[in-house]
Chain A
Amino acid sequence: MAILELAILYQNNPLFEKQFYSTSNVLDKKIRNSLLQTISGVINEAFGEEIQSFSLGKYTITVLTHPLGDPDNSPSNLDKSHNNSALKPLMMYCIVDQNSDDKIVLKTMKEAMLQFCNRFSVYDISQNKVKKFKKFDKRLDKIFGDLILKSEDRFKSLF
């Protein structure tokens, strides 16, 4: 079990990407591109449903979407009932080994999403201030712990 790669996107723009293992080695370039196209396509489709998982060969791609009020949408148009039409999805996806425990991956992704939304302002997210999000790297390592290790590497880390 291992998380191989994680990315966070806002309106199709990548904000943060991290590879724990090179997915270019484990995934054929064509497969990888088709995976990412699937993810992009799913942003709008899956929005409203919090979680989606897709199995592809030896890998699973898990997507978590989080609705953010869009600052670019005229705030004066927002009424007090918090009109959902002004929401835009912040999306996180992980590429994981097929045999990974979904529940654990998902729990960890939720924690990562929570901490990302706490650490960075909605303004910075909506403005795609990619440089700022690099600071999330260390925090992500802490959140994921040894989930980023394949079984063989986990054993190596024990002995």
Chain B
Amino acid sequence: MFFGRNPRKKTVRKINPQLYYFAEYSMLDCNIYVLTDNSSGKFWIIDTGNGQSFPGFKAALNDLDLNLSDLAGIMITHEHLDHILGLYAFFEDVNLPSLKLYVSPFTKQILEKGDEEQICPSSLGISAVHFGLKIAPLSQFQENNKIQEIQEVHEGDIISLGKTTLQVLETPGHSIGSISFFDSDRKILFPGDVVFPQGSFGRYDFPGGNLATLISSVKRLADLPVDILCAGHMPPVLTQASSQIQLSYQNISSLMRY
């Protein structure tokens, strides 16, 4: 293992009474968002980080009096290692027999196969071993009661998480399996790595990325009424986020001149 597990507690910020932001570490990690339901005591997370950050995430959860035994579901925005590798750290550490995974069809296929080449492309010169983790077919974890089911989600699907409902938007371009989650009641968008604050946008030069497809996806998100932007990287935008996504669209569109 080249990167030790990082015990440093993740920095947490409360965005609203149901939503917490766990800030990414500096290297190949991502933001993790936690959605809670006070009436049931259950919670859900969006993206899992790189696994190296799992101890710090768990420690920060404890501070909020949230226990992993109450984790009801994990939503994955896309199949890149900084968002998905943490899943294997969860499986290694806890048994979550009632856990549901919500993923795109492409991500599901990768997880079912345990397809390391898709998660950690060899062209990047990095593998799960570097993070002290082992990627295996998902059936192994289901057999060991680590997870209840993997639910493939599609465009327009609605996921109910207690009082929160998230709409699924297929937003490829950064990766093949990129999906965004939109809470239309609270106008909160979880776009993964499709758009970022301050007019930034996702890279399209990784395997499966495509500029024209990414522009279409950014356009879709720019047309949504978004107040709060909870992206995979950089701190969340807490007000008037739509205008920043429109700036992202403007900036990525300008690349088409080349």
Residues of B within 8 A of A86 (CB): 247
CA of A71 to CA of B195, assembled, Å: 14
Instruction: Tell me whether A115 is interfacial, beta carbon within 8 Å.
Output: yes
Interchain CB contact under 8 A, B254 and A67: yes
Q: Which residues of the other chain, A, contact B254 by a CB distance below 8 angstroms? A: 66-68
* Interface pair B258/A122, CB less than 8 Å apart: no
Instruction: Give min CB distance, B44 to chain A, whole Å.
Output: 28
Asked if B55 lies at the interface with its beta carbon under 8 angstroms from chain A, I say: no
- Which positions 48-78 of chain A face chain B at CB distance < 8 Å? 50, 66-71, 75-78
A119 within 8 A of B: yes
> Are the C-beta atoms of B198 and A122 separated by less than 8 Å?
yes
Tell yes or no: A143 within 8 A of B by CB.
Answer: no
Given known contacts A50-B257, A122-B198, A123-B197, is B247 in contact with A115 (CB within 8 Å)?
Answer: no
Interface residues of B in 156-196 (CB under 8 A from A): 196
- Judge whether B94 is part of the interface by a CB distance below 8 angstroms: no
Is A111 part of the contact surface with B, judged by Cβ < 8 Å? Answer: yes
- Contact A121-B258, Cβ < 8 Å, known A75-B243, A78-B243: no
Q: Is the CB of A121 within 8 A of B196?
A: yes
In the complex, what distance in Å separates the CA atom of A124 from the CA atom of B234?
11
Cβ contact within 8 Å between A78 and B258: no
CB of A126 closer than 8 Å to a CB of B: yes
A113 within 8 A of B: yes
A78-B243, A82-B246, A123-B234 known; A69 and B203 CB under 8 Å? Answer: no
**Bound-state Cα–Cα, A126 to B198, Å:** 9
Q: What residues of B have a CB within 8 angstroms of the CB of A156 in the complex?
A: none
Cα–Cα distance between A136 and B135 once the two chains are bound (Å): 31
In the complex, per-residue mask of A16-40: 1 if CB is within 8 Å of any chain B CB, else 0: 0000000000000000000000000
Which of A80, A110, A111, A126 has the most B CB atoms < 10 Å from its CB?
Answer: A80
Give every chain B residue within 8 A of A123 (Cβ-Cβ): 196-200, 234
Q: B247 touches which one: A78, A111, A113 (CB < 8 A)?
A: A78
CA gap between A123 and B211 in the complex, in Å: 19
Which residues of B233-258 are within 8 A (CB) of A?
Answer: 234, 240, 243-244, 246-251, 254-255, 257-258
Please name all residues of chain A whose beta carbon is closer than 8 Å to the beta carbon of B203 when the two chains form the complex: 118-119
A104 at the interface (CB under 8 A from B): no
Q: Across the interface, which residues of A come within 8 angstroms of B251, CB to CB?
A: 68-69, 117, 122
Residues of A within 8 A of B198 (CB): 71, 121-123, 126
Q: Name the B residues within 8 Å of A78 (CB-CB).
A: 243, 246-247, 250
In this assembly, does A114 line the interface, its C-beta being within 8 Å of a C-beta of chain B? yes
Tell whether, in the assembled complex, residue A117 and residue B234 are in contact, meaning their CB atoms are under 8 Å apart.
no
Task: Tell me how far the C-beta of B63 lies from the nearest C-beta in chain A, rounded to whole angstroms.
Answer: 29
Q: Is the CB of A122 within 8 A of B200?
A: yes
Q: Which residues of A contact B93 (CB under 8 A)?
A: none
User: Which residues of A have CB within 8 Å of B205?
Assistant: 115, 118-119
Docked CA distance A36–B225 (Å): 44
A61–B246 alpha-carbon span in the complex (Å): 34
Chain A positions within 8 Å of B211 at CB level: 118
Q: Bound state CA distance, A112 and B200, in angstroms?
A: 18
Chain A, residues 127-151, CB within 8 Å of chain B (1/0): the string is 0000000000000000000000000
Whether the pair B258, A110 counts as a contact (CB closer than 8 A) is yes
Q: Which residues of A contact B (CB under 8 A)?
A: 50, 66-71, 75-78, 80, 82, 86, 110-111, 113-115, 117-119, 121-124, 126
Of the A-B pairs whose beta carbons lie under 8 Å apart in the complex, a sample of 5, sorted by A's number, is A69-B251, A75-B244, A82-B246, A111-B258, A117-B255
